[in-house]
Amino acid sequence: MKPAVLITLTRGADMLAHALLDRADLEIINYHDAVLPFYESRGVHATRFLEFFTEEDRVRVAAEAEQRAARVAAEMRSAPMQAGWQQYAGDPDTWERFAGEVATLAGRDFLPEIVMIDALLNCASRTDLRLLIVQQDISRDTRTLIAAAQRLGIPTLHTLHGYPYGALNAINLSGPSCADYIAVFSEPAAALFESLGVPRDRIAVTGNFEWDPFCRPPRAGQRAEACANLKLDPARPVITYALTYTHRFSRVSAANPGYVHRITNAVLHAFADLARRHPDWQFVLRPHPNDADAPSDLENRARDVGLPSACIDIYTSSICSVHASDLIVCCQSNLGIEAILGGKPVVNCVIDEFAQAVFDEGIGRLFLDSDAVIHARTPDAIAPAVEAALLDADTREAFLAKRPATARRFSHLNDGKATDRLCSLILHLAERGRDSVPAPVRWPEYEPALARAAADCPGPVTVAGVAAPYVAARLQYLEPERHVAVSSQEALAALPAASCPVLVLADPVPATEAVEHVLATAGRALAPDGTLVALFIHGGAVEAQDACAAGAWAPARNAADATVPGGQHSYQGLRMSLSRSDLLLVEARPQQRSGGEGPHLSETDTVPGDIGALGDIDAWVVRARRRPPTPGAWGEARQERLRQARAANARGEAFFAEGRHNEAAAEFAAAIALWEQEALFHNNVAATLHAIGRVDEAWKHCITALHFDPNLQSARDNLRELAHALGRTDEAARILNIFGADAPDGPDSP
């Protein structure tokens, strides 16, 4: 199976895919269907992303989308949300509009977001997906895909190849939705991202691969080809308007509603006026890549102002747009930079009446007064500025005089080799795969719950893990007089035995084979009557597969709601993990995605059959204690339970040999109920369920058997047979690889 790369870029995607395939044998997966003709024109084969999602799947998730939208709409009307908005935006008058927009967008967006997540889950299970490449990470689609990929442990690369400006903050640069790595076009851009909190080792300076062609002279016929793509006449003037975009829910957008539409309306009216005065001129409207609503909206608005023949350019690369155009009109757009690099004049619409505050915020405006652009500061100035740029010799001479300094200011690394550097970075990340995903440093949504659970336990507290300083600070805030010590995860093993009255694991307990080592190490450090406080990420969609190792887990469909790696645990699964490490569950506190806590469960409680009755659970914060000493190696009660389990298993094996499979299944189930951590019992029930046609259940028990004993040959053999029956040989190969076993034979094995 070839390594696969998912490309979500629109403009330039075909150029990048072609360059990658020249350097490596990859499977290219393309996100945007409308880009496929450009792939085909270059002879590039790409798999459609939505091939991994069927219409039947869409019907299945539609109900979930409706439920989520309803929950969001209700939450937006809550008092805490309103108070939070007032603190954030400082303007209570905008709350009703903001809340209404969020509710409307939730109803519209949740279904496609869930489709994206499910398609990504299917894609990851059916291909060797090594990397997700996004173009910026502030749009809905890319933020959702990044979060889902991070949940799956698939590295993500954000190719920010524009020049950052304006209101740069946590909404579009950092936080949990930020990609694992960022490729920027210059050292100053890297320094800017670093100053905003992005670790320097996650930033690569590659240059802008789309700018490489500007380092070479245009070849003959290039303008004609670019115009042909847009059905334009190369012999007539072409004026292109490149729209801008700002996150719709940022503070500046809330304070200046509709400024993008108002600027666009001003440009459209100017274009309609110019079209009447210059009937041979051609007008192109180029939406921003992140604005999914712009194409149809632009057509309607252009028609309304008397510009029915405007061309809507959605997918051509920036180089093609510059070659096709005689002039670029923009509003602080990076396409203006590319036009300058390509020697084309630029009219920059900075309508102070609409958006002065917007572009003066943060690091300021993109273009300075000294740059090679004509600034139109009022709506009435747009049309005269366009005419001057195209028809006035003095204006064009002034542009050419300023152009070299402007090109140097923006194009720090424009040496024509950006494609080579970016491809090398992509192939390096794809080769390293999951190893290239940086570990998170904290889990702020769970810190308060861990601190509260520790506060309920008497005695000095030791907090261990990467996030230990943050949890310790929370606990110290709750109880200033409590003695709290901080330990790294590595130092946990060096703690003296039986030395910790209260031990808090600040990082999520992994759902891999390492879980027993982590818990056993923590248990050794606990005092005899001490308490362990730990966090288990909940996997509600995989209750029956809780014992499966991390690489074989199927994350919950709502993967975009959390970005914590490490796998998932069901309630029964975490109890099993504690038990295998000689720890007893004292209390489990379900952490809900709404930020609240569900009802606390004691060691004698069981989870209802409908896990949803406890709320929308994201994680479990548990308190556990060491198992008290018992007579003998096992203790009399445990030894009797094991004896009974083995007897039930023996009866099941006898029934199975006689072909009495239903009775055998009942006996094996009884054995598991008595002693659930025995691999042989799960393997026997898997073989029995397979024999009576319940192959999906058999698959889950077989994986559980391998988790308890990866060397059980009969379990490996059973998994191979089940894989062929279910058509899941690739998935079985990955599972067996995780457990150190050979892959199953089959036509689709790697």
Rounded to 10 degrees, the C-alpha dihedral 41/43/49/54 comes to 90
> 47 forms bridges with which residues in the sheet?
29
* pLDDT above 60 (res 251): no
pLDDT at position 240 is: 96
Dig out the tokens for 51 from the structure.
């091939």
Give the integer Cα–Cα distance in Å for 305 and 454: 65
Segment 262-293, tens digit of pLDDT: 888 999 999 999 999 999 999 999 987 666 55
The burial class, CB within 10 Å (0-12 / 13-18 / 19+), for 722 is: buried
Residue 408: what are its φ and ψ, rounded to 5°? Answer: -65, -35
CA 12 to chain centre: 22
| b/e code 180-196 from CB counts within 10 Å (16+ = b) | bbbbbbbeebbebbeeb
What are residue 205's phi and psi, to 5 degrees? -90, 110
Q: Which residue(s) pair with 575 in the sheet?
A: none
Asked if residue 154 lies in contact with residue 180, where contact means CB atoms within 8 angstroms, the answer is: no
The pLDDT score that the predictor gives to residue 293 is: 58
What does pTM read for this prediction?
A: 0.58
- Name the residue among 109, 352, 132, 363 with its Cα closest to residue 249: 109
For all residues of the chain together, what is the average pLDDT? 79
The answer, yes or no, to whether residue 566 has pLDDT greater than 60, is no
- Above 70 in pLDDT, residue 749? no
Show the DSSP H helices in 153-293 as ranges: 170-173, 187-195, 222-229, 251-255, 259-277
Instruction: Specify which residues 48 forms β-bridges with.
Output: 30
Q: Are 645 and 674 in contact (CB under 8 A)?
A: yes
Look up residue 612 and give its DSSP letter: G
pLDDT value, residue 167: 40
In degrees and rounded to multiples of 5, residue 534 shows phi and psi of -145, 160
Q: Which of 195-204, 597-606, 608-617, 657-666 shows the lowest mean pLDDT across its residues?
A: 608-617
Digit-coded pLDDT (tens) for 496-554: 888 999 999 998 887 665 777 788 889 989 998 999 999 987 754 333 233 222 322 22
CA distance 221 to 232: 14
> 324 by DSSP, 3-state: which?
helix
Yes or no: say if 672 and 648 are a contact pair by the CB < 8 Å rule: no
First to last CA, the chain: 5
CA distance 586 to 570: 16
Instruction: Please state which of the ranges 90-94, 106-110, 167-171 shows the lowest mean pLDDT.
Output: 167-171
C-alpha 186/C-alpha 545 separation (Å) is 46
Radius of gyration over alpha carbons of the chain, in Å? 30
pLDDT of residue 365: 77
Residue 186 CA to residue 435 CA, distance in Å, equals 26
- As a whole number of angstroms, the distance between CA 673 and CA 517 comes to 24
- Identity (one letter) of the amino acid at 474? R
For residue 294, pLDDT over 70 is answered with no
- A 10 A CB-CB count for 743 gives 17
From residue 24, give the alpha-carbon distance in Å to each of 156, 427, 689, 690.
19, 8, 44, 42
CB of 515 closer than 8 Å to CB of 509: yes
pLDDT of the residue at 332: 83
As a whole number of angstroms, the longest Cα–Cα distance in the chain is: 100
Tell me the average pLDDT across 697-708: 83
Residue 129 · residue 159 · CB < 8 Å:
no
- Distance CA(103)–CA(77), nearest Å, equals 9
**Hey, which residues does 61 pair with through a beta bridge?**
none
Query: What is the DSSP secondary structure assignment for residue 186, as one 8-state letter?
Result: S
Which residue in this structure is represented by tokens 């199953």? 744
- The single residue listed with the structure tokens 């997540």 is 117
- Structural contact between residues 194 and 273, judged by C-beta atoms closer than 8 angstroms: no
| 475-497: pLDDT as tens digits | 988 888 899 999 887 788 888 88
